[in-house]
Structure 1
Amino acid sequence: MNGRHDIEIRPLTSGDEVTAGFRVFLRAMVGLPLREVDAMEVTERGRYLGALDGSEVVGGADSYRSWLAVPGSARLAHAAVTHVGVLPTHRRRGILSRLIARQLEDIAARGEVVASLRASEAVIYERFGYGVATSARSARVDLRRAELRPEVPPGGRVRLLDEAVTTEALAGIYDRASWTGAIGRPAGWWRLQEIGRAADAVRHYVVVHSTDGVDDGYAVYHPLDTGGWFTSRQKTVSVTDFVALTGSARAGLWRHLLSLDLVDVIAIESLALDDPLPLAVVDRRSVELGPERDETWLRLVDVETALRERARGDEEPVVLRVSDALLEANNGTFEVSRKTVARTDAAPHLTVDVATLAAVYLGGTRWRHLAAAGRAAVHDPDAVRRADILFGTTTSPFSGTVF
């Protein structure tokens, strides 16, 4: 058996190599369908790293060029990390560690400030500097009990969209997203959605909302368990993508979904933790919320730039010492105030590793909770209070994009 040093880590260059890398990912995930996909259509040239045992691709780590919306609505250059996997025949040989370390070096060299991923297992990525920065939950709405409150705005116009123009229209709406945690959806992501809808045995419905003639939201949904649809007492529609750029769009899309005929349950795959839907119905128990689950695993690739570009609250400065085992440039001490972020030689008020800083970066975790859990070393007790204000946000961060 070859040792770990016989495995070559390099970008996958040819179409055959990229296809092999994509198939490794599908096999490594076990439960994903092995669909016939042209991997060159859904990846970006030069970004797919492979682990090769001789000429065989046995592992891979890919990413998309994207953006991440941070507090204050700035968009940071972002790598959306995906298609990570190693064949079962080559596990426990350090291949994943080498792939991720090399990928982070490449992302940093591209000038991308942050990276994020969706983790198949919760114990893998923290050692690579990733922290849980956003969470989400599902919801089930019982349409036999759900009724919007009379105070809910009427919303605008909702229209069904033809499949032929779906991607262009939806991408044009989504690209204006500015909520904290939203990420840019690249062309490869949209192409995968098209492939998934085309391969599905049931029809997917797309509705677009417009306010005063401007498209400002949409929802994508499809029926579940259609074999017994007309005899079922739990006819369920699954909402796989819900995007509302305005309050009017949110209300209008709610009204559409809650008024569907021949439907008993609306199952929404992903909502922000503070989504207002339960407050919008007369019978709050008609909305059953699922458990909180981790969503965005965030990696700060350039700590100083990331700290500088997000908005900060009005409070006295806090001095943070940050450690990063993989990216040496991030190691240092930073004075963070409302107006500025700068490296400093001053004694730190708080000390954290880069994964812990990522967890608090978007406002989804509080410094006081990190301190209580022993994940932040506290050298100045009042610094915890100040840091909570500096890093505070008014809404829960949320992505809403799986990749």
Structure 2
Amino acid sequence: MSILASLYSGISGLAANGNAMSVIGNNIANNNTIGFKTGRTLFSDLLASNVSGSGGNSQVGRGVGLSVVDNVFSQGTFENTESNTDLAIEGEGFFVVKEPLTNQDLYTRAGSFRFDEEGRLVTPEGFRVMGYALAADGSVSGDLTTIKVDTQSLSPPRATTNIKLTTNLDADAAYRGPFNIADPVNTSNYASSVTIYDSLGNEHLTTMYFSKMDPATNPLEWEWTATIDGTEVGGAAGPMAIGSGSLQFDATGSLVSTVPANPLTTAGVFSWANNANPAQQMSFTFNTTQYSSESVVIGQSQDGYTTGSVAKLTIDAEGNVLGNFSNGLPKQLFRIALAKFTNPAGLVKEGANVFTASQSSGAAVVGTVGSGIGKIFTNSLEMSNVDLAGEFVKMITTQRGFQASSKIITATDEMLSELINLKR
């Protein structure tokens, strides 16, 4: 083999170590890039030449070549943020995004998302985040689609169907006489009000009056009457009864029976003046005690609500996009998709923190949180997995490798000079 071959071995070392330094520089430059995955340079020796010697045939190497630059998909640490739309993945999954112009599917670990002016969940570069629309019961409905929330839509109202009261009625309260709906305040011992909703989402105030019954004939028993303003159901002004009955307690103050049965259902009395559904039914459930302490409402609830517009969009740990409406109703709208690959190292970097699939990576397997692809953490971003200390060590060894390769060239040049001087 000619001495000139050593020149090319040195050149191959310069080229290989130069490329390695480029990879190291790129890693260090992206030390603070969200979701960045560090690159790794692998070298391989070049095909050796055969030379003959007194001991037989031998092989002499011809330098070094760049084998592959692959991506290391180790888990990065998480950074806490103030934005609920910042997401981080724990596991091997990727977010699925779509390039709006080419409609190409891309994959990323950088979850710095936001909603644009049209309600789309997008990356800072405008790539659209993909997911699944959710049905009313929270189940996945349909195929993979762009996550886009109609922020101008209204959430429909829901008529009240259930009212639950948790109260204590004072066992020491005095008997005030039979309840008179014409004078409810002076013929009752205690009252509690709750807002209910009709089928059109209009509010109506319902007041529940509690009257202690004559202990001589009805010991440990209370009468209750639910009322509403008569004008709201096409009647005269003043309280109108929409339900009544009694509550029976035992000597320990525990509720033992209700009349009608608990829960009771009231129907057919709501001839709403605003033409809402007159067939509305409501069930009253009492969770009531009678102790020797002040009458008090511990809790009350009802399941109706008025119309509402989207007030805020958030994302939960299951990857669900939630629309928080102005009526206080949260609603699951979409579920963010996650993808995984048989060989993530085979993904191709496309810049802007995204990858494309290749034959080496295999096709994407798409699912959601809970399908074994990964977990999502909100108010978090995955930081770069670059190890600065390791990169600086590699920088030193690469620099020395480059210097050593250059010495091969200068030493060979000196040898060639000596060979040329033989002629003199």
For Structure 1 versus Structure 2, the TM-score category normalised by the shorter chain is under 0.3
Structure with the higher helix share, 1 or 2? 1
Larger radius of gyration between Structure 1 and Structure 2: 2
The two structures have a TM-score, normalised by structure 1, of 0.18
Structure with the higher strand share, 1 or 2? 2
Higher relative contact order (CA 8 A, sep 6+): 2
The two structures have a TM-score, normalised by structure 2, of 0.17
